A = this chain, B = another copy of it.
Amino acid sequence: MLENIRVVLVNTSHPGNIGGAARAMKNMGLSRLVLVDPLDFPSSDAVARASGASDILDAAQIVGTLEEALVGCNLVMGTSARDRRIPWPLLDPRECGVSACEQAQQGGEVALVFGREYAGLTNEELQRCHFHVHIPSDPTFSSLNLAAAVQVLAYEVRIAWLAAENQPTKTLKLEATAIQSSLPVTADELESFYTHLEQALVEIRFLDPAKPRHLMSRLRRLYGRSDVSKLEMNILRGILTETIKAARGEHLGQEKADV
């Protein structure tokens, strides 16, 4: 089950931190590392700090964008400083560990996303996350080392996993088809939905592409936290398709939907 949980490091500067993160992961039973555009990797510094976890470095997936790193993910949680302009559903590390395990136990794919050493994640990257996670550090000295942050979240994942291992899971009794359609959609499916939604909002003249304001980020926050299932996504996509047709005057006289 822990193999469904990937650690995504975005634009890491210091390879030593990648090695430290790999060691922290392996200590806590995690194995899947995804590196988004690392500045210096592979690197002997990474191997040295990994200290026996170099198998995780060897198997690390290297991609160019966060979007690629999140393909197939049903739950994306990104680390964030406390105060952001646009408030986002915020979890503490413990809730993050429990959510990751619950999702993985149902067969979902989970990503824990960590930003740059000095600048963290950009607002755009943070908006690709369903939840933000804040490690409650001292406000006067709040920035954890990257590997230390990975250690804290990986530790909470392990604690939640150990607790879950001792309890039978409720969800395994669902039928396979019910599980399939009640699984949350993946990050890439959600991105396609946002693109479709934005298109529809432009068509009905609710969204002005020249002055988008915070509209899309607010809608991302709403749908991102809602665990939209595949069935629900089909409904929402159907609504958008019909909305666009209606905006173009193509809806008159057509057949009714059958849901």
Q: Which stretch, A63-71, A102-110, A187-195, A224-232, touches the partner chain B?
A: A224-232
A137 to B239, CA, bound (A): 40
Interface size on A, residues (CB 8 A): 81
Q: Check B247–A251 contact: CB distance below 8 A.
A: yes
Q: Does A203 contact B (CB under 8 A)?
A: yes
A246: chain B residues at CB < 8 Å are: 203-205, 243, 246-247
Q: Does A39 contact B (CB under 8 A)?
A: no
Tell which of B155, B213, B254 touches A258, judged by Cβ atoms closer than 8 Å: B213
A212 to chain B: closest residue by CB: B259
Q: Check A235–B219 contact: CB distance below 8 A.
A: yes
A225 to B152, CA, bound (A): 28
Q: Closest approach, in angstroms, between the C-beta of A198 and any C-beta of chain B?
A: 12
Q: Check B138–A251 contact: CB distance below 8 A.
A: no
Q: Mark A219-259, 1 if CB is under 8 A from B, else 0.
A: 10111011110011001001100110111010110101111
Q: Taking A27-B137, A92-B169, A155-B152 as contacts, is the C-beta distance between A222 and B215 under 8 angstroms?
A: no
Q: Does A208 contact B (CB under 8 A)?
A: yes
A142: chain B residues at CB < 8 Å are: 27
Interface residues of A in 22-56 (CB under 8 A from B): 23-24, 26-29, 49, 51-53
Q: Closest approach, in angstroms, between the C-beta of A213 and any C-beta of chain B?
A: 5
Q: Check B235–A226 contact: CB distance below 8 A.
A: no
Q: Does A123 contact B (CB under 8 A)?
A: no
A93: chain B residues at CB < 8 Å are: 155
A213 to B257, CA, bound (A): 10
